[in-house]
Amino acid sequence: SSNNLQGYAPICLGLEDFYIRRLYLRIQDCFGRPISSAPDAWFDVVERYSNDNNKTLIRTSKISRCLNLGSYNYLGFAASDEYCTPRVIESMKKYSPSTCSSRVDAGTTALHEELEEYVANFVGKPAAIVFGMGYVTNSAILPVLMGKGGLIISDSLNHNSIVNGARGSGATVRVFQHNTPSHLEEVLREQIAEGQPRTHRPWKKIIVIVEGIYSMEGELCKLPEIIAICKKYKAYTYLDEAHSIGAVGKTGRGVCELLVVDPVDVDIMMGTFTKSFGSCGGYIAGSKELIQYLKYTCPAHLYATSISPPAAEQIISAIKVILGEDGTSRGAQKLSRIRENSNFFRSELQKMGFEVLGDNDSPVMPIMLYNPAKIPAFSRECLKQNVAVVTVAFPATPLLLARARICISASHTKEDLIQALEVISQVGDLVGIKYFPAEPKKQ
Ligand code: PMP
């Protein structure tokens, strides 16, 4: 096969464990490399090579400067920022990197309380609780919210942190077809009659879990339709905005703002600080009663060390910039930049003949490779030309739906994007992944 650049055609034939393991070694060799700078528009990638048996990866000190199309640095805050960085340094001096204590012991600083207020106001809910890790926010909260006798209805492509949280909760879990409101209704109808009061049905509680932007699909949630169905069947809604908060909406307030949904209609809003805010941690925002309940009962609040103070300061400062409270219009500029960059990049890729998933305005852009044997070739050929692209495959996607996932940032310049497009186009021809005819270039 002409696509068999790296000699991995056998994977198409056998898909046996042996080949999959060999393939993963190859993938390891392409991405997943150590980075030695901030994950900005360009970053430093440490070169690695494998020994002759392909068994061990040896780190070298050689570093390449690469155009970064892999990090979730949507608004460009994950680099030195004139407003955030001095404040983060100050908070580091004042509080140290860690509180060395849980929130209920000695781990609540003024920053933690300020952060919760800022987050609640930003997402349009009465209260919020923050955690040191986005993944844990889902996986620890769901078992607190739901238990035996409860029903969780989850989108089939929800993130692993949701899947694990749902499984660990002890509730019954049903899955509906990805982003398909009509199928959600079918699943609900199998469980309860329309209009049946909450007190007269076989489930103590029903919760429907969706994401704002799906991280492997780049697709926006059909939130208005899903909310209408949840209201009809009196189910609670849980919205994970990891990839949408800060990244979409006129003022960065996520899919609710973009799709004109009142946050009142979403019962539980979840999000992470690891993408648009360039920090770490996660939040749940909701009613005062819900947040109070979580503060009394959630083990990740009671027993885990609280979010690092400098990380909390980074989030507060980033929200202030987004809201213009730093006294500049940089936040608004970042928001229009991410939108323009995303829409430009997506439409150029489509014109070149690539199959690109996702919706306009979404900074997540999966380019379909399909055959997992194309992953190493695509990733490595891009890297040879100093463009770092993350490729994703089984088990994060179905086996034969491998893809390269581009993440666009407000910190990419137009020149960066044009350079990336040229490289991706050449590599796309080489690897054979332009599935549609290219649009003729305008003179
Ligand atoms: N939810 C979704 C939808 C995610 O994509 C991720 C990770 N990318 C998480 C939760 C976990 O967040 P974190 O990486 O901040 O731990």
End-to-end CA distance of the chain: 35
How far, in Å, from the CA of 132 to the mean position of ligand 1? 12
Q: Mean of the pLDDT values across residues 108-113?
A: 98
CA angle 10, 13, 17 (to 5 degrees): 70
- Is the minimum distance from the CB of 240 to ligand 1 under 6 angstroms? yes
Residue with tokens 């497009």: 421
- Is the minimum distance from the CB of 315 to ligand 1 under 6 angstroms? no
**Cα–Cα distance between 91 and 87 in angstroms, integer?**
6
H-helix or E-strand containing 130? strand 127-131
- Is the minimum distance from the CB of 215 to ligand 1 under 6 angstroms? yes
Q: Which residue has the higher pLDDT, 271 or 11?
A: 271
Confidence of residue 21 (pLDDT cuts 50, 70, 90): low
The CATH number of 84-323, from 3.40.640.10, 3.40.50.300, 2.10.10.90, 3.40.50.150, is 3.40.640.10
Q: State the span(s) of the chain assigned CATH 3.40.640.10.
A: 84-323
Give residue-wise pLDDT tens across range 385-416.
Answer: 999 999 888 877 888 999 999 999 999 999 99
**Dihedral angle over CA of 396, 397, 403, 409, nearest 10:** -50
Q: State the span(s) of the chain assigned CATH 3.90.1150.10.
A: 10-68+330-431
Confidence of residue 14 (pLDDT cuts 50, 70, 90): very low
- The reported pLDDT for the residue numbered 36 is 87
How far, in Å, from the CA of 420 to the mean position of ligand 1? 26
Residue with tokens 């790296």: 6
Give residue-wise pLDDT tens across range 329-377.
Answer: 999 999 999 999 999 999 999 999 999 999 999 999 999 999 988 988 8
| CATH fold group of domain 10-68+330-431 | Aspartate Aminotransferase, domain 1 (3.90.1150)
Q: Can you give the pTM of this predicted structure?
A: 0.91
Q: How many CA atoms lie within 13 A of 211 on its CB side?
A: 24
Mutate to test the pocket of ligand 1, among 268, 272, 307 (most ligand atoms within 8 A of CB): 272
Mutate to test the pocket of ligand 1, among 133, 160, 215, 269 (most ligand atoms within 8 A of CB): 215
Yes or no: say if 185 and 225 are a contact pair by the CB < 8 Å rule.
Answer: no
Yes or no: say if 138 and 165 are a contact pair by the CB < 8 Å rule.
Answer: yes
H-helix or E-strand containing 417? helix 414-431
- Looking only at the bridges linking them, the beta strands covering 387-388 and 57-68 are parallel
Q: Which residue has the higher pLDDT, 443 or 168?
A: 168
- The reported pLDDT for the residue numbered 364 is 97
Yes or no: say if 213 and 130 are a contact pair by the CB < 8 Å rule.
Answer: no
Give me the long-range contacts of 175-182 (CB less than 8 A, separation at least 24).
Answer: 178/214, 178/217, 179/155, 179/210, 179/214, 179/217, 179/219, 179/221, 179/222, 181/222, 181/225, 181/226, 181/228, 181/229
